[in-house]
Structure 1
């Protein structure tokens, strides 16, 4: 394909089932649509996103993309163009370091995303899952479950609330809340970028639950990386690499309210000087039965309120109302 393989704008009651797509642009753009079912599809899109719900101003007004299910799909950016479709499955060479090929919500995010489920999908040789609201969209009631990820080329999980604000002037900042992520396994993710949940000053991501998740990173982070405090970049184009190298091996959490993690393991292939979890401006953080690499710090925290960790191996049960700056 020379352009988006599927571009659906303002379409309701849409079903996309059992397609194989091999493209140099987006596989599917589902924009301002309601009641959408995407299932049993295979998408190879090395240079762009595989399945990409949007909520733009294409209709001349902001319209929510809602009631969407994406299930039983395989997304990748790892194959030479056309070789997935013809069945030869020829891998791209090692010089192609940043294939895309992911499931991403955004970047266009004017109307919002609501009542969305992504389930039983496979990510391979591509970027991780991205959930973005940067143009004023309200993003809520999202589940991401039953996912395998292998050879992920940036953050396995990327949740971003920002203020690019492409659209009519005067639109208020959006929101991102009520997100459930569970039963996810990721292996071989690149060392520079851990998973990210990041709002902006004055606008936190809220009500996130992450459970039964195994995140395997290549590791190798240095002491200098552990001391990083990345710039906010509130209005920049949202992409995990926007912050540069990150000061955590597992999860980077900034400007977040009410986040809960249970049965989450952070594993590394090579020794890493960074903490597993990095928290800044977090209100309400509960960590139950988390497992972090031996010999590494578990938490680095700044300006954190109502923090608890309990039932976790090699981490002392701790409950603190307010933390200015502490390593645990």
Structure 2
């Protein structure tokens, strides 16, 4: 990042910070001024009510102690968020992934930018909803757990695009930016995304605290990215998720990413920040149990390579998910030093599918070269074993599980152990997609080169299913 030599206080440009007057124009004016020479825009203590704030190259936004940027609400305040730019359409990804300007803070094509704390962003006036992708297929657009929802219930979560006019649905959105730092601030509520970074290179996200009603940190088609020491609570969606969508108009891999020393969870929204860690909410909007996990996918056109996840903690959340269903490759992924408590679906879920949400000719992807080691998980939902599930025509290859301890609740039946779930190649990937798994500990299907080294499986109460079930799979267990 460039040297921070010049300071620009937003109050000197007319910002009031009283939580009533809109400070959007004043803050945008000082950012534009700072961009002429480079420098730091200081948000002092106070509550600054804003619509869209536009970042600029060479500028750092400093949220001082006691500073709050609050997202204005178009229903209550005179103004609107910047309109969504003309993009590559929402054919292969939803509205939220396809636009960046309709956000509280955004930047496109910038370099050498930063947002640093210790202040706070509150997305009070943002919406968490938005249209789904325009791509349609009999299956694959939504999790199978949503199959029983009515059209009205779906529409409440996915309004029409014209209903998004004037609304903001992201706290921070970045596209095609270089040398970016987000550090040491808090985000409370954030619409669809707390942070959406698409096509961003050389990105550092460090010590953010996020408690939100949908996605936490979304890293889409990024390169050379580090996420360190973050705490993300997101009961309704993923906490930290890597994606490789078609949002940039072409398939781009998510490459060279490290996620380390982070904690993700699915406590009741807002209760991580207030310290009460609530357990009232039981289901996410997809009607599976609360989310809050680290995941690769679901958008997976460009694939994922050279990914490291280490020294992370999952609390009251779904487990780790590595998924490619849109033609991309998952390769050279290392996971280590992970602990999980109160796992709400499968602790490990590796899925190679054929949803094929992409241009005509999109083929099945690949998964190979995955190592998961030093993992301890307890309080696991008994219905869903750790799962490695490929397809008959596309096996998962070369996966090592080493020094793994998984303790399940137990309680499955012998009848469950006789189940042989359908292949569901085109379905949206979630651990619940197959129903209760036929094994209680580890279920492997359509895979080769699966190595188990010091894998310890246990149940708290008896379970009538086999410990491990392998179907069309080659497993080497010590």
Q: Identify whether the pair has TM-score above 0.5, normalized to the shorter chain.
A: yes
Residue 37 of structure 1, aligned match among 201, 205, 226: 226
Alignment of 1:123-202 (within 5 A): 123-202=314-393
Q: Partners of 1:51 and 1:260 in 2: how far apart?
A: 27
Residues 1:250 and 1:169: Cα distance change in structure 2 (over 3 Å): same
1:14 — aligned with what? 203
Give deviations 1:188-216, integer Å, cap 9, x for gaps.
10111011000011100000000100000
Q: Partners of 2:269 and 2:349 in 1: how far apart?
A: 26
Residue 232 of structure 1, aligned match among 423, 430, 436: 423
**1:57 equivalenced with 2:246 (yes/no):** yes
**1:82 equivalenced with 2:270 (yes/no):** yes
Q: Which consecutive aligned stretches of 4+ in structure 1 deviate over 4 angstroms post-superposition?
A: 94-97
Q: Is the 8 A contact 2:282 2:290 kept in 1?
A: no
C-alpha root-mean-square deviation of aligned residues, in Å? 1.0
1:90 Cα deviation after fit: 3.6
Alignment of 1:103-142 (within 5 A): 103-142=294-333
Larger displacement relative to structure 2 (88-97 or 68-77): 88-97
Q: Partners of 1:172 and 1:269 in 2: how far apart?
A: 42
Gaps of 5+ in 1: 289-328
1:287 — aligned with what? 477
Residue 92 of structure 1, aligned match among 279, 285, 291: 279
* Higher Cα radius of gyration: 2
1:282 Cα deviation after fit: 1.0
Q: Partners of 2:231 and 2:209 in 1: how far apart?
A: 5
Q: Partners of 1:81 and 1:253 in 2: how far apart?
A: 34
What secondary structure is seen at the aligned counterpart in 2 of 1:241?
helix
Q: Is the 8 A contact 2:390 2:445 kept in 1?
A: yes
2:171 — aligned with what? none
1:214 — aligned with what? 405
Give deviations 1:139-188, integer Å, cap 9, x for gaps.
10001100000000000000000000001010221000000000000001
1:278 — aligned with what? 469
Q: Partners of 2:306 and 2:220 in 1: how far apart?
A: 15
Q: Partners of 2:476 and 2:192 in 1: how far apart?
A: 44
1:25 Cα deviation after fit: 1.1
What secondary structure is seen at the aligned counterpart in 2 of 1:68?
strand
Q: Partners of 1:42 and 1:162 in 2: how far apart?
A: 31
Q: Is the 8 A contact 2:354 2:363 kept in 1?
A: no
Q: Could you say which structure has the higher strand fraction?
A: 1
Alignment of 1:299-318 (within 5 A): none
1:266 — aligned with what? 457
Give deviations 1:195-246, integer Å, cap 9, x for gaps.
1000011100000000100000011111100101011100000000000011
Give deviations 1:93-150, integer Å, cap 9, x for gaps.
1644711000011000000100000000000101000000000001100011000000
Aligned length: 285
Q: Calculate the TM-score normalised by the size of structure 1.
A: 0.85
Q: Could you say which structure has the higher helix fraction?
A: 2
Q: Partners of 1:190 and 1:90 in 2: how far apart?
A: 19
Give deviations 1:271-315, integer Å, cap 9, x for gaps.
1111111000113x2100xxxxxxxxxxxxxxxxxxxxxxxxxxx
Larger displacement relative to structure 2 (211-220 or 88-97): 88-97
What secondary structure is seen at the aligned counterpart in 2 of 1:107?
strand
What secondary structure is seen at the aligned counterpart in 1 of 2:300?
coil
What secondary structure is seen at the aligned counterpart in 2 of 1:27?
strand
Q: Partners of 2:318 and 2:280 in 1: how far apart?
A: 16
Q: Calculate the TM-score normalised by the size of structure 2.
A: 0.59
Q: Partners of 2:314 and 2:192 in 1: how far apart?
A: 22
1:71 — aligned with what? 260
2:194 — aligned with what? 5
